[in-house]
Amino acid sequence: MPILNKRHSVLPGFGIAAGYTVLYLSLIVLMPLAAMALRAATMSPGDIWALITDARVIAACKLSFGASFAAALVNIVFGLLVAWVLVRYSFPGKHIVDALVDLPFALPTAVAGIALTTLYAPNGWLGKLLAPIGIKVAYTPLGIIVALTFIGLPFVVRTVQPVLEDLDREIEEAAMSLGATRLQTFLRVLLPSVLPALLAGFAMAFARAVGEYGSVVFISGNMPMKTEILPLLIMTKLEQFDYAGATVIGVLMLVISFVLLFIVNLLQRWSGNRATSH
Partner 1 sequence: MKFMIAVLATAVFATSASAQKAVELLNVSYDPTRELYEQYNAAFAAHWKAEKGQEVTVNQSHGGAGKQARAVIDGLEADVVTLALAYDIDAIAQKTQRIPADWQTKLPDNSTPYYSTVVFLVRKGNPKGVKDWDDLAKAGISVITPNPKTSGGARWNYLAAWAYAADTLGNDDAKIRDFITRLYKNVPVLDSGARGSTTTFVQREIGDAYISWENEAHLALREFGADKFDIVYPPASILAEPPVTVVERVAKKHGTLEVATAYLEYLYSPEAQEIIAKNFYRPRNEEVANKYATQFPAITLFTIDEKFGGWAAAQKAHFDDGGTFDQIYLPK
Q: Which residues make up the interface to partner 1 (CB under 8 A)?
A: 54-56, 114, 117-118, 121-124, 138-139, 217-218, 221-225, 232, 235-242, 245
* Nearest distance in Å: CB 153, partner 1: 25
Between 184 and 236, whose beta carbon lies closer to partner 1?
236
* Nearest distance in Å: CB 44, partner 1: 16
Rounded-to-integer distance, Cα 130 and Cα 122, Å: 8
Between 143 and 196, whose beta carbon lies closer to partner 1?
143
| Number of residues that make up the chain | 278
* Nearest distance in Å: CB 219, partner 1: 10
* Nearest distance in Å: CB 104, partner 1: 21
| Nearest CA-CA partner of 140 in 80, 27, 260, 222 | 222
Between 172 and 242, whose beta carbon lies closer to partner 1?
242
Between 128 and 269, whose beta carbon lies closer to partner 1?
128
Between 55 and 183, whose beta carbon lies closer to partner 1?
55
* Nearest distance in Å: CB 140, partner 1: 10
* Nearest distance in Å: CB 32, partner 1: 14
For the chain, the straight-line distance linking the first and the last C-alpha, in angstroms and rounded, comes to: 44
Q: Which amino acid is at 217?
A: V
Radius of gyration of the chain (CA): 23
Residue 245 and residue 51 in contact, taking contact as beta carbons nearer than 8 Å:
yes
Which residue blocks in the chain are alpha helix, DSSP H?
Answer: 2-5, 14-25, 31-40, 45-52, 55-88, 94-101, 103-106, 109-120, 125-130, 141-166, 169-177, 182-184, 191-211, 216-220, 230-239, 243-277
Rounded-to-integer distance, Cα 86 and Cα 36, Å: 42
Between 121 and 156, whose beta carbon lies closer to partner 1?
121
